[in-house]
Structure 1
Amino acid sequence: MLLLLPFLATAQLQETFSDGNFTQNPTWTGDAGSFIVNAQNQLQSNGPAVTGTTLQLVTPSQAIVGTTWEFWANLKLATSATNYTDVYFVADNPDLNAASLNGYFVRIGNTADEVSLYRKDAGKTAIMIINGQDGTIATTNNTVRVRVTRNINYGWELNIDVSGTGQSFVSQGTVTDATHKRSGYLGILVKYTSANSKNFYFDDFIVIDAQPPVLEELQTISTQEVRLYFNEPLSPQQAQTIANYTLNGTKKPIIAELAEAGTVRLVFAQNFSTGSNSLTITNLQDLYGNIITTPITRNFSFVPPAVTPNYNELLITEIMADETPVVGLPVQEYMEVYNATTDKVLNLQGVKLSDATSTTTLPNVQLLPGEYAVVVPNTQVSNFTQFGKVIGISNFPGLNNAGELLQLRRPDGKLIYAVNYSDAWYKDNSKREGGWSLEMIDVTNPCADSDNWTASVNLKGGTPAQPNSVAASRPDNTPPTIVDATAISPTQVLLRFNERLDSTRATTIANYSISPTIAVSKVEVQGPLFTEVIVTFASPMQERQLYTITATGITDCAGNLPSQPLTATFALPSVPDPGDVVINEVLFNPRPNGVDFVELVNRSDKYINLKDWKLANTSGDTISNIRAITTANYVLAPGQYVVLTSNPDNIKQNYPAANDKAFLKMASLPSYPDASGTVVVLQPDGKTADRFSYSSDMHHGLIDDLNGVSLERIRLDGPTIATNFHSAATTVFATPGYKNSQTQVGVAAKQQFIVEPQVFSPDGDGLDDFATINYNTNRTGLTVNITIFDAQGREVRKLVRNELLATSGFFRWDGLKQDGSKAGIGYYVFYIELFGLNGEKSEHKEKVVVGGRLN
């Protein structure tokens, strides 16, 4: 007993039966009625004298590794296949006869009269893992002390001392076996024939675990959860103390739970870092008080499970739309995609890639956080592998050089990312000609468009599957604004914003109001770019009424909120009638390297939408070369001008006073020759809104250089005929987008004829450059001749000959004589002859003065 004292001092279980029973301290259960504690304080079998009887007793014990088990036994019988004992050190079931039992035991006896170590697997026959020396218990009075150890590496050793004193242990062998790692019980099982029912004696059970727990495995369960698997059961209090765990130096778990005896579940508020992570564990102890004195640090690599990308998680960050002429890359269009997340592996399988005309599907490819990949046709994969990750696809969409809408969508159709690129985004005219890619500048600002893209500066022309050469910080700190508002139906208005919106805020009905008041019933954000919002009203709007819509609480994709409510005015467009929108100014003979323009004006009191209107010319008597003015909504307010041209910048450069907001760019204008031609404006219903036949002869005869000088409408309410147009003042040459330099308010003639102004100066300065003879008759069918005489009565010019009069109108004198020379300063007389259908005649004389500067 003295030899056992060092072990007893640290034992987790010790049973000497000195208290005279086995039902407490510790408690043994099982066939308790078939065992006794004898006078020598030994546990002795006392079962029925029936051959084949099996008896058992068990007591709780979870010791499993880093443990020593020891006991004393005396079998006063000749051991055999029917007379032996199994002493279980590890058992997961209190029924040692159960077929489902898992555990380890020492068998004393059997046909070889030995002590051996066995393993029992559920549903199977026990197998010997250490074969003890034969004949060590070959008498009828077999005393033996058994010691079994299992180290923290699951190495077993079996020792026996047949003297029973514990001073002469002899090893029976070693083995490594980690099959079973959990225990619930220690127990005794005896099997005998009828004569040996009382011949099994046991004493001095000792179980010693002096080793602290060992972390065997760390397993990631999700992006925020790990499980720790220790080699033995843990003390619940320490195992569930959050302070005992630290992730990556600073982060503590929000949950620390003892899921099983030796398994700890840790959940963190943040996702694990992709790649390397570090977990430090302190102060844990096993059930027997063995403490981890040195912190355990376990490094682990985390790759999150691949997921289908959500909105703005997978981006298109580079576009090679025009691959020729070659700069340094393979001759192939391509797109680059980028995983914009910091903690997600994206599975691209089934993601749809679309351009304006076709859709293809990406293959089963995974993209790590922050990883780039270039998308090319399958046949081009080998040509791009030198640059990085390559995704080959069939049916690669042909990319339009000028630009188009590209979209990425989930397999379920939900939008991931969209970009409507343009060749204007190169911001470099030489690079837009080909061989250079467009690159996104700041991949953390995916909602920006033109401002966040530019031409690559890499000497090869692009950076496929690599960080972009133009990469820089370009955050969006500017809130959104409303570009325009257009009524698209009696109950709907379309709002266009200057940038992409947060769709949740943009669809909140309470964020919108309209004046005069109409209730808002629905709001929809238009994908895929989320720059347009359709607001639906509960009742219809009225024509010829100007409305103001106010939007509050609207943020852009980056979360920027305007400091003031956003407002825009609009009106419900009316159905146009021919003559509502007319040709107001035409430049058909531009300066060298200049371009033509046609200016329209809405002279009605209606709001008119120019969507699907057309501009044309004529070929003979046939309207031809029809070109769309715009396919988008463009509402022209009463009195509003719009300038149609293929190059607004060119017009603005040549005419600095031009109204910048009045331009509407067309892809191209019909041809308008310098000598003569016809401008035709067509409504969506095919009716001619207005038509103007011009010639260079309509310009003022004293203008030496006609290049760059427009013809302007004189009277807004007058007909679109030659006499109602005049050369723009030579002080401006043209007035694109604003009031004509030669405009004249209609004069209501209270008598048959009135001259306005009575003094004019035909010098081209835009101030009274011509005189008009305004008429008003009360009958139809009259023809007129107008002849101009000077103060001496000499004929100067035959202005009008046999002209059929309307009921009202005007004639214009530009101050030129019959030979095209300029009339001198002085008084002149308009001699007017009127002829009726029945031969009646009347004569009228009106005075006018030609003024000017005297040299």
Structure 2
Amino acid sequence: MKKLLLPFVALLFARTATAQLTDTFADGNFTQNPAWTGDAASFQVNAALQLQTNGPATTGTELQLVTPCTATIGTTWEFWANLKLTTSSGNYADVWLMADQPDLKATGTKGYFVRLGGTPDEIALFRKDATGSPVYVINGQDATLSSTNNNLVRVRVTRSTAGLWTLERDLTGNTTYVSEGSATDATHQRSAYFGVYCTYSSTNSRAFYFDDFRVTDATAPLLLQAGASSARQLDLTFNEAVAAAQPGASYRLSTGSPAVTAAARDVQDPTVVHLTLVADLPLGSLTVEARKVADAFGNVAAGPLTATFQNNGFAVPPTFNQLLITEILADETPVVGLPASEFIEIHNPSATAVVDLAGVRLLKPGSTSNPAVFPAGAVLLPGGYAVVCGSTRPALFAAYGKVFGLTNFPSLSNAADQLVLRGKDGRTLFEVSYSDTWYRDARKKDGGWTLEMLDTANPCAGADNWKASEDASGGTPGRANSVRTPNPDRTAPALLRALALSPTTVRLYFGEKLDSLAAANVALYTISPTAGILRAAPVGPDFRLVDLTLAAPLTANQPLTVTTQRAVDCAGNASGPATSATFALPVSVVAGDVVINEILFNPRTGGVDFVEVVNRSGKFLDLQGWQLGNQRPDNSVDAEPISSGPVLLPPGGLLAFTTHPDIVQQQYPNSTDVAHLLQLPALPTFPDDAGTVVLFDSRGQVLDKYAYAATQHLKLLDNAEGVSLERIRAAGPSEVGNFHSAAGSVGYATPGRPNSQQQPDVNGTGVLTLEPEIFTPDDDGQQDFTTLAYQLDQPGYAGSVTIYDAQGRLARRLVRNETLATQGTWQWDGLTDRGQKASVGYYILHVELLRPSNGQKREYRKTVVVGARQ
């Protein structure tokens, strides 16, 4: 079939173009003319001069070969294949028409491929993005490849200059093609490789055959747009790569415009041609004309090709992320080498556009001060950097290049702050909320060093794209950062939580900045049970929030689920599967609904305190206006607000409050749930020795309080720094007997996660209940102590608990004549009266209950075993 087809194909295309890629394997190899690379040892050219798999006979094997190919638009791809097997989810082939990298197995490879086989036994065209699973462009008919041992097919795929794809096939291997369908998709415009990918089960290692690969660009280039990047440079963009050699005589401008002296293809982007002009461009509407422009494959557009553009001057106002803050000196002392003055550095990341800074505002959201405004005539050249400082400080930075001294330059907080650049039209251009933890260096955090952005191509990122300068002077104002390195954002945005702000407004919280235009699409969101959505409004300046306006008011405390489809972050990453969050319109809280669940009051060196609460009610609650306090010995309270805005706490929900969630996460990386950490501007002062944590609602009502002390920690601990006290039973009282040191096996704290020492609430019957009856006091978070619960018929009892070993020797006087409520608990942590760990063995708990009013006395004995793990 090959010998009959190729002359026909050659005749068909001889008049239009030279093929971008042709390989019939007639030379008996795949290592040259063209050269294929990849799993070369697992392929062969067989006696029939066909490419055949010859890999290991192992189920799940994946093989690939690729060869360079840049054709993308106005292109035809053809190939012959025979899969001598039964296709399935584990036995199929992908022929990649376009791939942006040579590893077809990598999850981040982008492009288009034809799948032969798979579960539907189909021939289909797929698109692969940087994240997520492949998606159909053309879904072929199922059961097309239905043979158990001879799935023969010739495939032809075309893509028009308008992005229209057509998929055809001939199941006899000839050229009488039948259409599988057409579809428009213009997602990916670049390609570097063509290739084949095969996966199979053990019996099919030699069952894939390929031949007659041909990729042909038969279409002349089209001129898409033109624009001035400087007074004497015009940039033309074509729909595909053009020839490397670009004669200036091929281009001219409108009558009366300056002549073109030179034309050059862009080094990085072969679809762009830069025209150099003999004089400055005039203002107004201009037309550029191109004749006899060839693409990279020899197709010539006789022309004329024209594009009209508006020249409004050399500099252009910046749009979102076209003006960046790339360096910050918030703490100028002690001086390392830079001037003793706060500053920021701005950067124009464009390679061609001059940015017009006139009217751009620098501000701190929430500040009462007027913003700093750039003056008329201020510009920043393509790729340029500039220092921005106070109006009296430019002379200090004169040696660093361009400097803007602005009136009302904001005071930069050392610990943390938010800075925003806004265009003169009020739109957000750039936002950054920095923290001193971004330095990643305790020494540099103390002052004199700048924070620098790592990757200016990833401006939406936060802490992971900034660090302390590595320049010996302390920073690099006015030039490229010392820490610059590629740091792309490949993470899709996640929906963290949702909250009803009112009966008709629901706020969504995302884990990173969103594309504000995409996020405003109402069709991305659904609420079930059914609730109509009228409007979606992203909330600036960082666009991590989206407010949904509902068509009808919500019912209080009714759980609902909001789902978002394909949320897009400001770096262009789109979430794949739908993500959802549960919420409800909150109701009023009463004392005891929310209780103190965990407290870290004596942190490690460099650490911070945190307090965790748990909602043990069946209500959805809003923490807006609540306060957290420490009650002093004189009963006065040092209190701090939890949140001035709404914060939802669902039934059973946990929230840990701290001033630095990032530090908490760093110190407890394996036992922290960052989704349940809430940053507070300040926490009350919790002494290291003892204090009382108090939780207030928005009306000042005490919801819960707990009196902690360092002496409550497990006596076996060598050092209690960084060890939290955890609540044992959610429904139990906020008393000493219901708290225990967090287990060492989880890192000694569980902020935002269920407690390591939690036990089920006591539900036993009778006077005394012991649980567990065998425990291992080794601080591993599993049965570290035993709990003795009592339930009395009436008040007025006093109780004593004495523990003896199996020989009757006194081990511990646990309780002495304690006045008892009608129910409560005691816990034994396995320590003796000497503070030593009790030996492994049986122990008797002797319980005495006395009613002083009538002398009535009861005695009980419970047996418990102190064990040890092997």
Encode CA deviations 1:308-347: one digit per residue, 9 max, x unaligned. Answer: 4444444334333333333433332223334455665544
The change in CA–CA distance for 1:459 and 1:720 in structure 2 (over 3 A counts) is: closer
Q: 1:326 is aligned with what amino acid?
A: V
Q: Which moved more, 1:526-535 or 1:457-466?
A: 457-466
Structure 1 residues 305-344: aligned runs within 5 Å: 305-341=314-350
Compute the displacement of 1:687 (Å): 1.9
Q: 1:397 is aligned with what amino acid?
A: P
The change in CA–CA distance for 1:523 and 1:786 in structure 2 (over 3 A counts) is: same
The change in CA–CA distance for 1:758 and 1:303 in structure 2 (over 3 A counts) is: closer
* 2:389 maps to 1:376: yes
Within 2, Cα distance between the matches of 1:423 and 1:584?
29
Which of 758, 765, 777 is matched with 1:743 structurally? 758
- 1:682 is matched with 696
Aligned residues: 589
Within 2, Cα distance between the matches of 1:381 and 1:833?
81
- 1:353 is matched with 362
The change in CA–CA distance for 1:312 and 1:378 in structure 2 (over 3 A counts) is: same
Within 1, Cα distance between the matches of 2:718 and 2:484?
55
Within 1, Cα distance between the matches of 2:838 and 2:457?
71
Q: Secondary structure at the match of 1:577?
A: coil
TM-score (norm 1): 0.59
* Cα contact 2:508–2:547 (8 A) shared by 1: yes
Which of 518, 523, 527 is matched with 2:540 structurally? 527
Q: 1:746 is aligned with what amino acid?
A: D
Q: 2:340 is aligned with what amino acid?
A: V
* 2:776 maps to 1:776: no
Q: Secondary structure at the match of 1:550?
A: strand
Which of 571, 580, 596 is matched with 1:567 structurally? 580
RMSD value, Cα: 4.6
* Cα contact 1:715–1:744 (8 A) shared by 2: yes
* Cα contact 2:803–2:813 (8 A) shared by 1: no
Q: 1:330 is aligned with what amino acid?
A: P
Within 2, Cα distance between the matches of 1:789 and 1:366?
82
Within 2, Cα distance between the matches of 1:435 and 1:729?
40
- 1:420 is matched with 433
* Cα contact 1:247–1:278 (8 A) shared by 2: no
Within 1, Cα distance between the matches of 2:789 and 2:425?
71
* Cα contact 2:259–2:277 (8 A) shared by 1: no
Within 1, Cα distance between the matches of 2:715 and 2:812?
14
Q: 1:616 is aligned with what amino acid?
A: G
The change in CA–CA distance for 1:552 and 1:641 in structure 2 (over 3 A counts) is: closer
Which of 703, 722, 725 is matched with 2:739 structurally? 725
Q: Secondary structure at the match of 1:505?
A: helix
Within 2, Cα distance between the matches of 1:592 and 1:553?
42
The change in CA–CA distance for 1:714 and 1:449 in structure 2 (over 3 A counts) is: closer
Within 1, Cα distance between the matches of 2:290 and 2:774?
105
* Cα contact 1:482–1:566 (8 A) shared by 2: yes
Compute the displacement of 1:726 (Å): 3.9
The change in CA–CA distance for 1:529 and 1:620 in structure 2 (over 3 A counts) is: same
Q: Secondary structure at the match of 1:430?
A: helix
Which of 346, 362, 367 is matched with 2:379 structurally? 367
The change in CA–CA distance for 1:345 and 1:271 in structure 2 (over 3 A counts) is: farther
Compute the displacement of 1:718 (Å): 1.5
Compute the displacement of 1:631 (Å): 5.0
Q: Secondary structure at the match of 1:510?
A: helix
Which of 835, 847, 851 is matched with 1:835 structurally? 851
* 2:651 maps to 1:638: yes
Compute the displacement of 1:693 (Å): 1.3
* Cα contact 1:373–1:388 (8 A) shared by 2: yes
Q: 2:376 is aligned with what amino acid?
A: N
Encode CA deviations 1:192-228: one digit per residue, 9 max, x unaligned. Answer: xxxxxxxxxxxxxxxxxxxxxxxxxxxxx9959999x
Encode CA deviations 1:43-84: one digit per residue, 9 max, x unaligned. Answer: xxxxxxxxxxxxxxxxxxxxxxxxxxxxxxxxxxxxxxxxxx
- 2:590 is matched with 577
Compute the displacement of 1:537 (Å): 1.6
Alignment identity in percent?
41
Within 2, Cα distance between the matches of 1:555 and 1:801?
64
Q: Secondary structure at the match of 1:386?
A: helix
* Cα contact 1:505–1:553 (8 A) shared by 2: no
TM-score (norm 2): 0.58
Encode CA deviations 1:90-144: one digit per residue, 9 max, x unaligned. Answer: xxxxxxxxxxxxxxxxxxxxxxxxxxxxxxxxxxxxxxxxxxxxxxxxxxxxxxx
Compute the displacement of 1:388 (Å): 2.5
The change in CA–CA distance for 1:647 and 1:251 in structure 2 (over 3 A counts) is: same
- 2:516 is matched with 503
Compute the displacement of 1:513 (Å): 0.8
Q: Which moved more, 1:495-504 or 1:713-722?
A: 495-504
Within 2, Cα distance between the matches of 1:809 and 1:281?
90
Q: 1:315 is aligned with what amino acid?
A: L
* 2:820 maps to 1:808: no
* Cα contact 2:345–2:478 (8 A) shared by 1: yes
* Cα contact 1:749–1:775 (8 A) shared by 2: no
Compute the displacement of 1:691 (Å): 0.9
Within 2, Cα distance between the matches of 1:224 and 1:593?
50
Within 1, Cα distance between the matches of 2:831 and 2:475?
64
Q: Secondary structure at the match of 1:549?
A: strand
Structure 1 residues 255-274: aligned runs within 5 Å: none
Compute the displacement of 1:716 (Å): 1.9
* Cα contact 2:802–2:813 (8 A) shared by 1: yes
Within 1, Cα distance between the matches of 2:812 and 2:471?
71
The change in CA–CA distance for 1:341 and 1:823 in structure 2 (over 3 A counts) is: closer
Compute the displacement of 1:617 (Å): 1.5
Which structure has the larger Rg? 1
The change in CA–CA distance for 1:247 and 1:402 in structure 2 (over 3 A counts) is: farther
Q: 2:701 is aligned with what amino acid?
A: K
* Cα contact 2:357–2:380 (8 A) shared by 1: no
Compute the displacement of 1:452 (Å): 4.1
Structure 1 residues 666-677: aligned runs within 5 Å: 666=680, 669-677=683-691
Q: 1:534 is aligned with what amino acid?
A: D
Q: 2:529 is aligned with what amino acid?
A: P
Within 2, Cα distance between the matches of 1:669 and 1:786?
39
The change in CA–CA distance for 1:437 and 1:747 in structure 2 (over 3 A counts) is: closer
Q: Secondary structure at the match of 2:392?
A: helix
- 2:726 is matched with 712
* Cα contact 1:615–1:629 (8 A) shared by 2: yes
* 2:499 maps to 1:486: yes
Encode CA deviations 1:506-553: one digit per residue, 9 max, x unaligned. Answer: 111112111222111111011122222111222233444443322224
The change in CA–CA distance for 1:811 and 1:361 in structure 2 (over 3 A counts) is: closer
Compute the displacement of 1:381 (Å): 3.1
Please list every run of 5 or more consecutive structure 2 residues that lacks an aligned counterpart in the other structure. 1-225, 233-245, 264-270, 282-287, 292-310
Within 1, Cα distance between the matches of 2:823 and 2:290?
104
* Cα contact 1:224–1:270 (8 A) shared by 2: no
The change in CA–CA distance for 1:713 and 1:273 in structure 2 (over 3 A counts) is: same
- 2:449 is matched with 436
- 1:397 is matched with 410
Q: Secondary structure at the match of 1:421?
A: strand
